């Protein structure tokens, strides 16, 4: 899972690997729901042009397929609520979600940096998914 910021070039690095987050999305979704925040996948968006690629790559999640419309953009502050809650929950005990907990926490910290920069510039964002 990676962050896409609205516009051509936001003027800062938005790259976060996101592979550990993607591999642990189920555990993160459950944790987010327990914490009372939106799960990360709720910030996913793709357009109709992405549909054939997603199907070819094996996307079958109804959550993903339901969002195949015009790209949806979200306030960075909304993403920060989720990311900060997950960081708070995993900060002291990252292994609570499994052996990749430290990698997940590291990627969440990187997400926070990107989303803070996005919020400071009053830009919108969403998550995208790569199956490569």
The boundaries of the domain holding residue 12 are: 2-128
- 55-87 per-position pLDDT tens digit: 565 555 555 555 556 789 999 999 999 999 999
Phi and psi angles of residue 2, each rounded to the nearest 5 degrees, phi first: -135, 160
The pTM for the full model equals 0.84
- pLDDT, tens digit (0-9, with 9 covering 90-100), for 13-54: 999 999 999 999 999 999 999 999 999 999 999 755 555 555
Q: Would you give the DSSP letter of residue 71?
A: P
How many domains is the chain partitioned into structurally?
1
Chain center to CA of 55: 20
- CA 44 – CA 67 distance, rounded (Å): 8
Instruction: Give the count of beta carbons closer than 10 Å to the beta carbon of residue 66.
Output: 9
Which of these ranges, 26-35, 45-54, 102-111, 115-124, has the smallest mean pLDDT? 45-54
């Amino acid at each position: 899972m990676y962050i896409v910021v609205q516009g051509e070039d936001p003027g800062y690095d938005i790259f976060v690997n996101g592979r550990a987050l993607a591999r642990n999305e189920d555990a993160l979704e459950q944790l987010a729901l327990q914490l009372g925040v939106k799960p990360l996948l709720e910030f996913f968006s793709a357009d109709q042009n992405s549909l054939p690629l997603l199907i070819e790559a094996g996307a079958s999640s109804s959550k993903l397929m339901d969002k195949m419309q015009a790209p949806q953009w979200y306030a960075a502050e909304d993403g920060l609520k989720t990311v900060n809650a997950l960081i708070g929950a995993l900060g002291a005990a990252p292994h609570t979600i499994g052996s990749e907990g430290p990698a997940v926490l590291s990627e969440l910290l990187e997400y926070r940096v990107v989303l803070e920069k996005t919020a400071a510039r009053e830009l919108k964002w969403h998550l995208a998914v790569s199956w490569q």
